[in-house]
Amino acid sequence: MKLAPVRFYNTFGRTKEELRPAPDGAVRIYSCGPTVYRYVHVGNLRTFMLPDLLCRSLEYLGYATEQVMNVTDVGHLTDDTFDRGEDKMLVSARLENKSTGEIADHYTAAFLDDIRKVNIRPASHYPHATEYIAEMLDLIEKLIAKGHAYEIDGTVYYDIATFPAYGRLSRNSTDKLIAGARGEPDPRKRHPGDFTLWKAAGGHRLQVWPSPWGEGFPGWHIECSAMSMSILGERFDIHTGGADNVFPHHEAEIAQSEAVTGHQVVSIWMHGGLLMLSGARMAKSAGNFFRITELEEQGFDPLAFRYLALQAKYRAPLNFSTDGLAGADRALRQLRERIAGWSAHPGEDIAKVSEEWESRFRAAIADDLDLPAAMALVAELSRSSVTPPTKARLLTSWDRVLGLDLRRPAPEGSLPAGAAELLAAREKARAAKDFARSDQLREELGALGVTVFDTAGGQRIKK
C-alpha cells in the first residue's frame, strides 16, 4: 500500500522536504538525549517530545519507526559552545559525593520517570556514550587517516578547514567561527574553530580510557556520530535535537560522519524551538527552570504541559508560564469531561462525516507535524454539530498521536477544572503580598469546593 507523503522542515536547507524512507523499511530517527548529570526540566522535555510526536504521527499514518535516543554520560563539558570547561558528570559526582556511575544511573532513572509523566513513549534504543568508546576511537582514527584530524599532546582536534561544508547547517561563516572562538585556551590548534574529538586525560583520573594517543575521554560531538551510525547505519532518515544543538553539536556531527563515510548520512535535520521562561531560555545553569514533578506537586496534571506544547509549532520558541499551564490544565480536564459525556450519549456514528475530519487531521500531522492545526481541529470538532459518538470516536483515535489520555476518567479526589489556575494565581498574590487578591481567590476556590489554608510552608488545600 502506498503511504501518504509526509513533509518536514529540514534545518539543512531551511525548506520543507518530503520524507523518503527506504522502501518497506522503518523510518529511522536519532535524537540527542539527556546528559545525565542532573534532573531534566520541562524545556528538555519539550525537545524530547519532538521524536515522540514524530513516531506517533508517522505510525498513525502507517509508517514503521525505529528511534534511538542517546544518553550522554561522559564528555559533555560545562562550556559546550567552545568545548572547554569541566566534564558535567565529574562536577556532579564531586558535588554529590558519588561515583559517575551512580550519578548516571540516578539521573537516567529520573529521566525515564519524567518522560513517562508526559506520555513520551520510550525510544527503541537508549545507548550510553560510555558503551561506545571503541566505536568513537574507530571513527577518530579514520578521521586522522583521511587527513581531517590531528593530534597535539594526546588531544585530537577536527581540522575544520578540511571540510568545506562546515558551517552550512548553522549558516556560520568561518569568520564568525573565528570571532566566536576568542579566548580559546589551546593556541596550537590549526584553526580556532577546530573542535575536540578526543581529550587527553590531563589531571582526570575518572572516566578515562586508553587510546592510541594516551589516556583520555571523547568529545561530546563524536559520541552522536558513533552511536547514530552504529545503531541506525550510515544513512538514516531524521535527526532531532533542540535549536541550541544546531551549532556546534550538529555542525560537528555532520563534519565527522560525512568525512568518514564520504556521503550524506542524515536526510532531514529537525530542531525543536526552545522553551523560554520570563524571556530567557529555560536552563539549569541560570536557575530558571521547572521540573515536571514540581508542576505536578503544584496540582497540575503533567499532561497539561503536553497540551501546552501541542498548541505551539514545534519549531517556534514557546514562552512558559504557570498561568499558561493553568489554562492548558483546565482545557484538558474540560475536554476529557466532554468526551466522557459524548461517549455516554446515544446517537449515530456517521462514517462519511468522520472520514472528512479524519483526512483533515492526517493532513495536519503530515504537514511538518502541524500539531497546532491538529489541536485547532480538536476544538472545531468539539464545537461542531457532528454526532456525539462520532466526536468521541475521532478524538479517541487522534489521541494516539496527541497522547493526552483523553479517555482517562477524572481521578478520585482530583482538583475541579479551574482550581489549579486559581491556586497558582493565589500563590503569586501571596508572594506579592497582595492579600486582598489572595482572599478573593480563596473565596473563588471555596466556590469550587476547595478549601485553602496557609501554612509556614505555603498554601495547602482540602477538598
List residues binding Zn ion (CB under 5 A): 32, 224
Residues 266-285 that bind ligand AMP (CB under 6 A): 274-275, 281-283
Q: Does 246 bind ligand AMP (CB under 6 A)?
A: no
DSSP string, 397-461: HHHHHH---TTPPPPTTPPPTTHHHHHHHHHHHHHTT-HHHHHHHHHHHHHTT-EEEEETTEEEE
| Separation of alpha carbons 371 and 309, rounded Å | 9
Q: Measured from the CB of residue 227, what is the shortest distance to ligand AMP in angstroms?
A: 14
Residue with smaller CB distance to Zn ion, 127 or 273: 127
Pick what 190 binds: ligand AMP, Zn ion, none; C-beta below 5 to 8 Å, kind-dependent: none
Give 293: exposed, middle or buried? Use CB within 10 Å, 0-12, 13-18, 19+. Answer: middle
Q: Does 148 bind ligand AMP (CB under 6 A)?
A: no
Q: Name the nearest CA neighbour of 125 among 210, 28, 237.
A: 28
Q: Which residues contact 339 (CB under 8 A, 6 or more apart)?
A: 391, 392, 395, 396, 406, 407
Candidate residues 34, 51, 193, 299; the one interacting with ligand AMP per rule CB under 6 A: 34
Residue with smaller CB distance to Zn ion, 63 or 198: 198
Q: Measured from the CB of residue 19, what is the shortest distance to ligand AMP in angstroms?
A: 21
Q: Measured from the CB of residue 325, what is the shortest distance to ligand AMP in angstroms?
A: 15
Candidate residues 170, 245, 322, 387; the one interacting with ligand AMP per rule CB under 6 A: 245
**CA atoms in the 13 A half-sphere facing the CB of 289:** 21
DSSP string, 292-304: HHHHHHTT--HHH
Pick what 244 binds: Zn ion, ligand AMP, none; C-beta below 5 to 8 Å, kind-dependent: ligand AMP
Q: What angle do CA 104, 109, 113 make, to 5 degrees?
A: 145
Total of chain residues touching ligand AMP, rule CB under 6 A: 16
Q: Does 43 bind ligand AMP (CB under 6 A)?
A: yes
Q: Measured from the CB of residue 249, what is the shortest distance to Zn ion in angstroms?
A: 5
Q: Does 218 bind ligand AMP (CB under 6 A)?
A: no
Grid cell 574529538 in the structure block, residue: 197
State the residue number with the nearest CB to ligand AMP: 242
3-class DSSP assignment, residue 218:
strand
Q: Name the nearest CA neighbour of 452 among 308, 299, 346.
A: 299
Instruction: Please name every residue paired with 149 in a beta bridge, in sequence order, or none if there are none.
Output: 158
Q: Does 32 bind ligand AMP (CB under 6 A)?
A: yes
Q: Does 92 bind ligand AMP (CB under 6 A)?
A: no
Candidate residues 10, 11, 35, 130; the one interacting with ligand AMP per rule CB under 6 A: 35
| Separation of alpha carbons 186 and 166, rounded Å | 21
Q: Does 244 bind ligand AMP (CB under 6 A)?
A: yes
| Separation of alpha carbons 43 and 274, rounded Å | 7
Candidate residues 28, 46, 199, 333; the one interacting with ligand AMP per rule CB under 6 A: 46
Q: Measured from the CB of residue 85, what is the shortest distance to ligand AMP in angstroms?
A: 13
Residues 223-242 that bind ligand AMP (CB under 6 A): 241-242
Q: Measured from the CB of residue 306, what is the shortest distance to ligand AMP in angstroms?
A: 14
Candidate residues 9, 10, 29, 44; the one interacting with ligand AMP per rule CB under 6 A: 44
What's the one-letter identity of residue 353? V
Angle between helices 371-383 and 322-344 (to 10 degrees): 50
Pick what 224 binds: ligand AMP, Zn ion, none; C-beta below 5 to 8 Å, kind-dependent: Zn ion
DSSP string, 64-112: -EEEEE-BB-S--EEETTTTEEEEHHHHHHHHHTS-HHHHHHHHHHHHH
Q: Does 51 bind ligand AMP (CB under 6 A)?
A: no
Residue numbers of the site for ligand AMP (CB under 6 A)? 32, 34-35, 43-44, 46-47, 241-242, 244-245, 274-275, 281-283
